């Protein structure tokens, strides 16, 4: 069937909604949100990094752009979460476009370092922007009884969701599913094939008439926008935000590590990587020791790049081919 994937996506969104209504323990939504947020980050990173071969080290900068757009909007207009996410996506997308323009001549490691530098400059600027809390950070209290299209969304008794964690979880889950759909669409489209050509050899791609410049700009914009959407609810989730937590290098690292572990060639890679690594980190930091989640990222990453260079997906493909022979 032509739309099988889309139907599965819709079913998953419905499934997420059912989960929020059935599961009573907020704690699961609390950690589920983080894993889903990482899924969006990994998927977004992979569009540029996995398909196009451009390694973004500054993912945290895009996430923080979304988060701080949301904070500014809350302070300025007191808008709801969905609007914050849309705005966060727009601003981070514009940042992505600007990054693309600024780094047109840069390849490989130079591009990676430029994105890192960009994130650091942004962090410094935000640290001086007192309207959003400056270096000291700011507390965000989510709206008491938020409404969307006339419906009461979060309320202990009358709302669609009994509390904010459920709402945030559902929103992030929906975003994650849409991101994965977009990534899959890109992968099978002209854009994806063009990016792949750029990854193999930018000169050759150009000679063959691939509009490398335009494709790169589209990819940086889409990737940045997704990260911004993922970052926008961060302030509401943490109820406090400061530059150090929003620009944390861990976001950048996980956004790279998760696709690498899952496999960068396909949309399923970042999803698998985020599920595995994200869950492992949450479990280890909550039940064993908080430092261990970083150790897990480190060890898993090293082991995977050594024994499974194409990630889990590549590993499966290879073993399947092997058994066929």
Q: Which one of 5-13, 174-182, 225-233, 255-263 is the stretch in contact with other proteins (CB under 8 A)? A: 255-263
Other CB atoms within 10 A of residue 266 CB: 22
Q: Which of 292, 172, 300 is nearest to 226 (CA)?
A: 172
Candidates 260, 271, 272, 313; binder of other proteins (CB under 8 A) is 260
Local structure of residue 258 (DSSP, 8 states): H
Nearest approach, Cβ of residue 92 and other proteins (Å):
18
Nearest approach, Cβ of residue 14 and other proteins (Å):
30
Q: Which of 81, 53, 46 is nearest to 67 (CA)?
A: 81
Q: Which one of 39-47, 108-116, 181-189, 207-215 is the stretch in contact with other proteins (CB under 8 A)? A: 108-116
Q: Which one of 115-123, 184-192, 204-212, 228-236 is the stretch in contact with other proteins (CB under 8 A)? A: 115-123
Side-chain half-sphere CA neighbours of 178 within 13 A: 14
Can residue 208 be called a binding residue for other proteins (CB under 8 A)?
A: no
Contact 213, 53 (CB under 8 A): no
Residues near other proteins (CB under 8 A), total: 45
Can residue 301 be called a binding residue for other proteins (CB under 8 A)?
A: yes
The smaller minimum CB distance to other proteins, of residues 46 and 84, is found at 46
Q: Spell 182-214 as b/e; 16+ CB within 10 A means b.
A: bbbebbeeebbbbbbbbbeebeebeeeebebee
Can residue 49 be called a binding residue for other proteins (CB under 8 A)?
A: yes
Can residue 120 be called a binding residue for other proteins (CB under 8 A)?
A: yes
Place of tokens 């929103």: 171
Can residue 124 be called a binding residue for other proteins (CB under 8 A)?
A: yes
Can residue 47 be called a binding residue for other proteins (CB under 8 A)?
A: no
Can residue 306 be called a binding residue for other proteins (CB under 8 A)?
A: yes
Nearest approach, Cβ of residue 6 and other proteins (Å):
31
Nearest approach, Cβ of residue 248 and other proteins (Å):
9
Place of tokens 């994650």: 176
Interface positions, 130-149, toward other proteins (CB under 8 A): 134-135
The smaller minimum CB distance to other proteins, of residues 7 and 239, is found at 239
Q: Which of 208, 198, 251 is nearest to 65 (CA)?
A: 251
Can residue 300 be called a binding residue for other proteins (CB under 8 A)?
A: yes
Nearest approach, Cβ of residue 211 and other proteins (Å):
19
Binding mask 278-297 for other proteins (x = CB under 8 A): -------------xx-xx-x
User: Which tokens in the block code for residue 109?
Assistant: 């490691």
- Classify strands 138-139 and 147-148 as parallel, antiparallel or unpaired: unpaired
Interface positions, 58-87, toward other proteins (CB under 8 A): none
Can residue 219 be called a binding residue for other proteins (CB under 8 A)?
A: no
233 burial class (0-12, 13-18, 19+ CB within 10 angstroms)? buried
**C-alpha span between 63 and 2 (Å, rounded):** 34
C-alpha dihedral sign at 190, 58, 36, 50? positive
For 152, the enclosing helix (H) or strand (E) is: strand 151-152
4 burial class (0-12, 13-18, 19+ CB within 10 angstroms)? exposed
Nearest approach, Cβ of residue 122 and other proteins (Å):
9
Q: Which residues bind other proteins (CB under 8 A)?
A: 49, 53, 55, 102-103, 105-110, 112-114, 116-118, 120-121, 124-125, 127-128, 134-135, 244, 249, 253, 256-257, 260, 264, 291-292, 294-295, 297-302, 305-306, 309
């Amino acid at each position: 069937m032509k739309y099988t994937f889309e139907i599965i996506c819709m079913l998953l969104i419905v499934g997420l909604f059912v989960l929020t209504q059935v599961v009573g323990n907020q704690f699961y939504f609390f950690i589920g949100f983080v894993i889903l947020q990482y899924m969006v980050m990994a998927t977004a990173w992979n569009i540029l990094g996995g398909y196009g071969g451009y390694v973004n080290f500054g993912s945290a900068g895009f996430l923080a752009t979304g988060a701080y757009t949301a904070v500014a909007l809350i302070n300025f207009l007191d808008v709801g979460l969905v609007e914050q996410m849309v705005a966060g996506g727009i601003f981070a997308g514009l940042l992505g476009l600007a990054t693309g323009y600024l780094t047109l001549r840069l390849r490989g490691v130079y591009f990676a370092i430029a994105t890192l530098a960009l994130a650091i400059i942004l962090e410094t600027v935000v640290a001086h922007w007192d309207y959003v809390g400056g270096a000291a950070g700011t507390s965000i209290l989510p709206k008491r009884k938020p409404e969307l299209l006339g419906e009461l969304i979060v309320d202990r008794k009358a709302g669609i969701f009994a509390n904010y964690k459920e709402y945030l979880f559902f929103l992030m889950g929906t975003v994650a599913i849409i991101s994965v759909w977009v990534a899959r669409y890109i992968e099978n489209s002209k854009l994806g094939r063009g990016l792949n050509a750029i990854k193999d050899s930018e000169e050759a791609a150009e000679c063959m008439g691939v509009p490398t410049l335009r494709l790169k700009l589209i990819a940086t914009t889409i990737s940045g926008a997704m990260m911004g959407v993922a970052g926008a609810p961060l302030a509401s989730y943490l109820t406090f935000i400061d530059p150090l937590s929003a620009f944390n290098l861990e976001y950048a690292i996980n956004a790279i590590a998760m696709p690498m572990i899952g496999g960068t060639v396909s949309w399923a890679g970042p999803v698998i990587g985020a599920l595995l690594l994200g869950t492992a980190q949450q479990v280890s930091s909550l039940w064993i020791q908080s430092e261990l989640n970083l150790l897990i990222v480190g060890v898993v990453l090293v082991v995977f790049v050594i024994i499974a260079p194409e990630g889990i997906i590549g590993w499966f493909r290879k073993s399947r081919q092997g058994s066929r022979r």
